[in-house]
Amino acid sequence: MMRISRRLAFLFKIVTLGLAAGFFFVLLRPELLAPINVVEMRQSVSPLQGLAQVASSVQGNDLAGPVSYSAAVRLASPAVVNIFTSKEVPQRSHPLLDDPFFQHFFSGKVPALPRKRTETSLGSGVIVSSQGYVLTNNHVIEGADEIKVALSDGRGTQARVVGIDPETDLAVLRLELPDLPSILIGDSEDLQVGDVVLAIGNPFGVGQTVTMGIVSATGRKQLGINTFENFIQTDAAINPGNSGGALINPYGEMVGINTAIFSRTGGSEGIGFAIPVSLARDVMQQIIEKGRVTRGWLGIEAQEVTPELAQSFGLPQARGVLVAGVLRNSPAAAAGLQPGDVITEIDGVEVNDTAGVLDLISRHAPGTQVHLDGLRNGKPFSATATVTQRPIRPRN
């Protein structure tokens, strides 16, 4: 019993000394009693719920995004077709055949060789009506002797050209097949920078392909691609063969026709351009109804008024467009316009660039009048011209 009592007393002393040491240590280092710092991480919820939370934090934004765009692709892709064209092009004979010594060797009877070869190309198109009308780019079918169209359901047929519009690089084809799918037409005017878009086409001939991106810009002009430009810019990959295909929104509605890329290498570098469906639809309707697109024309050469030009012409500010030239026997000449005139308004609409002048004049139907206001020798002047049909200018 004595030994047990001594052991208990010894353990008691040790515990007491430990508690006392701990008490004094805490007095010296009180931060050790603070709770352990745990990094708080928000647990990821389902993607749709996460997007909804982001949307609720952005005032006035109806942000929403699906996990997959497969439903949109299933809805739109049957109406996107592959276009294969072929044409016969002249082939230069070998220079050796024109050599006098060579001709002497054959006694002047040089063997006849084929002087033509067949060039083939590929692109895409979109069936916009169950009646068989197909929208594509003019450069896809330009100069083709034969146009074949392959549908996603495996069917194929030859296409007939209904009409072309080189100045917007659009063309309308017609297919003669039953039970044709057609794409839903969206509203390109509602597109905003940051909207998700998908490009469907046949890049490099590998077959129907879908790429995704966002709208990088709208209303791109003066790129030197077409005469009339109002492009949707996107970083959705658009490669050779995609031309004429559909640019769709997440609901499977077509908002544009894929047309061109900016590239230093020939491949996609994230800068692609599509023709808005609003412009394409207007061109298509005119081609189907009239066989061609009618646009007003004045016959002037115009350039923008820079600060330097404004100073040299004695203008109070750099506004309007300068008439650099007037074509003989044109509506502008008949209206009395002169080189050096500065046009500031067309039908009451202020203009400050050549694209705006071209657009406003072209909207007038041939035979209608356009009212011009501007400055001549620093003094205000007005003129009224009767526009005529704009001459068709082939692509460069």
Which residues are tagged catalytic? 139, 169, 243
What CA–CA distance (Å, rounded) separates 281 from 274? Answer: 13
What CA–CA distance (Å, rounded) separates 78 from 280? Answer: 20
Number of Cβ atoms within 10 Å of the Cβ of 339: 11
Question: Computed over its alpha carbons, how large is the radius of gyration of the chain?
Answer: 35
Burial class (CB in 10 A: 0-12, 13-18, 19+), 332: buried
CA distances from 376 to 124, 343, 383 (A): 49, 9, 11
Burial class (CB in 10 A: 0-12, 13-18, 19+), 352: middle
What CA–CA distance (Å, rounded) separates 215 from 269? Answer: 15
CA distances from 181 to 33, 102, 157, 264, 326 (A): 72, 59, 15, 37, 49
Tell me the sheet residues that pair with 346.
349, 372
Tell me the sheet residues that pair with 375.
342, 380
Q: Residues 355-364: contacts with CB within 8 Å, 24+ apart?
A: 355/221, 355/222, 355/229, 356/321, 357/302, 357/321, 358/227, 358/228, 359/228, 361/296, 361/297, 361/298, 361/387, 362/228, 362/295, 362/296, 362/297, 362/390, 363/295, 363/296, 364/296
CA dihedral 23, 24, 29, 32 (to 10 degrees): -20
Structure-token pair, residue 157: 């047929």
